[in-house]
Amino acid sequence: MKNIVILISGGGSNMAAIVKAAQQQDWAHRYGARVAAVVSNKADAKGLVFAREHGIATEVLDHKKFDSREAFDAKLAQVIDQHNPAVVVLAGFMRILTPGFVQHFEGRLVNIHPSLLPAFTGLHTHQRAIDAGCKFAGCTVHGVTAKLDVGPILDQAVVPVLPEDTADTLAARVLTQEHVIYPRAVAALLQKA
């Protein structure tokens, strides 16, 4: 079985979209794959409740209990490795990962970013797109490298930026597309794994 481990820090809506796609599209039969675990750096992450309700193993690893980013990432890698992952999915995991962690999971680590990369890496992407006068925005699933938001592009979706858009309204429209392309990109990776 190809195991998927998903990392979250909050509500986990992208994680939920992947779990639902895995069930609805029968990834166990089609790809020999399953969502094996959801790991969060926050004990109160609402996505953990969804994962537990769907029979998925959950783990919490509080980054504040570690002396350094490297120490946290080393322990996080151990926790993930217990599930023998074919794919590690960052789904709203609000931590910048160390180069050692990224290298450990090289070729198996994916992220979603709320912009049309390479535009608007980092934070506040929706407001930055509006401020720049962009007519289109969107989201990108990409392979993770040691450099933030620059890995190979695996899938993208485009949404129009409307004249009346605020960062929040644009973010909500982009999020609906994230829920479409992230499961699709993970399924494509599973076909190759």
The catalytic residues are 113
**63 in Cβ contact with 95 (< 8 Å):** yes
Determine contact, residues 35/18, Cβ cutoff 8 Å: yes
- The sheet that has 153-160: what strands, in order across it? 57-60, 33-40, 2-8, 85-90, 109-113, 136-143, 153-160
Contact (Cβ atoms closer than 8 angstroms) between residue 119 and residue 156: no
CA angle 65, 71, 75 (to 5 degrees): 85
Answer for the pair 181, 139: CB distance below 8 angstroms, yes or no: yes
Cα three-residue angle 108-120-80, rounded to 5 degrees: 25
The CA distance from 57 to 55, in Å, is: 7
Q: How many CB atoms lie within 10 A of CB 192?
A: 9
